[in-house]
Structure 1
Amino acid sequence: MLNNKNSYLNDEARDRPLTNPVTDEVHRAARAYRLQRVREQLVKNDCAAVLLYDPVNIRYATDASNMQVWTSHNASRYAMVFAQGPVIVWEFHNCEHLCNHLETVDEVRLAINWAYFGAGPRVSEKAAQWAGEIVDLLRQHGGGNMRLAVDKMEPEGVPCLTGLGVELLQGQPLLEQARAIKSADELELIQWTIQVCERGIQRMHDELKPGMTENELWAWLHFENIRHGGEWIETRLLASGPRTNPWMQESSDWVMREGELLAFDTDLIGPYGYCADISRTWTVGHVPPTGEQRRLYGAAYEQIQYNLEVLKPGMSFREFSEKCWPIPEAFYRNRYCCVAHGVGMADEYPAIAHAGRDWESGGYDGLFEENMTVCIESYIGAEGGDEGVKLEQQVLITRDGCVPLSTWPFEEDWL
Structure 2
Amino acid sequence: MHYNRPRSTATWGLNAKDWEAGVDYNKLRNDRLDRAQTACGDAGFGAFLCFNFDNIRYITGTHIGEWGRDKFDRYCLCPNDSAPFLWDPASPAKRKSSPWLGNRVDAPVSTMQGAIPPEHGIQNIFAKQIKEKMVELGIEKQPLGIDVMELPMLRALEAEKINVVDGQQALMNAREVKTEEEIELLKVACAMVDAAYLDIAKGIRPGAKESDLVAIANEKLYAMGSERVECVNSVSGPRGAPHSHTFSDRMIQPGDMIFLDIMNTYNGYKTCYYRTFICGQPNDAQNEAYEICSNWVSAAIDAIKPGVKLDDIASLWPRAEEFGYANEDEAFLLQFGHGVGLSLWERPIISRRYMGQKTELKKGMVFAVECWKGADDGSGAARIEEEVVVTDDGCEIITNFPSDHLISCGLPGCEIY
| TM tier, smaller | 0.7 to 0.9
> Distance in 2 between the 1:289 and 1:382 partners?
11
With 181-190 and 296-305 compared, the bigger mean Cα shift is at 181-190
* Contact map agreement 1:112 1:130 (CA 8 A) in 2: yes
TM superposition shift of 1:57: 1.4
TM superposition shift of 1:252: 1.0
* Contact map agreement 1:331 1:383 (CA 8 A) in 2: no
Residue of structure 2 aligned with 1:399, choices 389, 392, 396: 392
Aligned twin of 1:87: 84
Aligned twin of 1:265: 261
Aligned twin of 1:20: 14
Q: Which has the higher helix share?
A: 1
> Distance in 2 between the 1:248 and 1:149 partners?
37
With 394-403 and 329-338 compared, the bigger mean Cα shift is at 329-338
Question: Kindly tell me: are residues 278 and 132 of structure 1, through their superposed partners in 2, closer, same or farther at Cα, counting changes over 3 Å?
Answer: same
**1:317 maps to 2:310:** yes
One-letter code of the match for 1:131? A
> Distance in 2 between the 1:186 and 1:144 partners?
33
Aligned twin of 1:365: 358
With 33-42 and 333-342 compared, the bigger mean Cα shift is at 333-342
Structural mapping, 1:13-412, within 5 Å? 20=14, 26-68=24-66, 70-92=67-89, 94-98=90-94, 100-106=96-102, 107-115=104-112, 118-120=115-117, 122-123=119-120, 125-143=121-139, 145-268=141-264, 270-284=265-279, 287-322=280-315, 324-326=316-318, 330-333=322-325, 335-337=331-333, 338-345=335-342, 346-354=344-352, 358-359=353-354, 363-381=356-374, 385-412=378-405
* Contact map agreement 1:31 1:104 (CA 8 A) in 2: no
> Distance in 2 between the 1:288 and 1:159 partners?
60
- Larger relative contact order (C-alpha < 8 A, sep ≥ 6)? 2
* Contact map agreement 1:335 1:378 (CA 8 A) in 2: no
* Contact map agreement 2:288 2:375 (CA 8 A) in 1: no
> Distance in 2 between the 1:319 and 1:389 partners?
24
> Distance in 1 between the 2:23 and 2:285 partners?
51
One-letter code of the match for 1:48? G
Specify the SS of the correspondent of 1:100. helix
* Contact map agreement 2:131 2:140 (CA 8 A) in 1: no
> Distance in 2 between the 1:326 and 1:126 partners?
51
Specify the SS of the correspondent of 1:119. coil
TM superposition shift of 1:186: 1.2
TM superposition shift of 1:116: 5.3
> Distance in 1 between the 2:219 and 2:382 partners?
25
Aligned twin of 1:9: none
> Distance in 2 between the 1:382 and 1:211 partners?
22
Cα shift readout 1:70-99 (whole Å, capped 9, x = no counterpart): 32221111111111122111111x453135
TM superposition shift of 1:201: 1.5
TM superposition shift of 1:293: 0.6
Aligned twin of 2:413: none
% identical equivalent positions: 22
Specify the SS of the correspondent of 1:85. coil
Q: TM-score, normalised by structure 2?
A: 0.86
Aligned twin of 1:14: none
Cα shift readout 1:41-61 (whole Å, capped 9, x = no counterpart): 100011111111111211222
Q: TM-score, normalised by structure 1?
A: 0.86
> Distance in 1 between the 2:145 and 2:22 partners?
31
Aligned twin of 1:10: none
TM superposition shift of 1:190: 1.1
Cα shift readout 1:296-315 (whole Å, capped 9, x = no counterpart): 00000000111110122111
One-letter code of the match for 2:222? I
> Distance in 1 between the 2:275 and 2:129 partners?
49
Question: Kindly tell me: are residues 211 and 25 of structure 1, through their superposed partners in 2, closer, same or farther at Cα, counting changes over 3 Å?
Answer: closer
Structure 1 gaps of 5+ residues are: 1-17
TM superposition shift of 1:114: 2.1
Specify the SS of the correspondent of 1:395. strand
* Contact map agreement 2:285 2:375 (CA 8 A) in 1: no
TM superposition shift of 1:142: 3.7
Aligned twin of 2:415: none
Cα shift readout 1:219-250 (whole Å, capped 9, x = no counterpart): 11111222233232333421001111111331
* Contact map agreement 2:140 2:162 (CA 8 A) in 1: no
One-letter code of the match for 1:20? L
> Distance in 1 between the 2:50 and 2:195 partners?
33
TM superposition shift of 1:160: 1.3
Superposed CA RMSD: 2.4
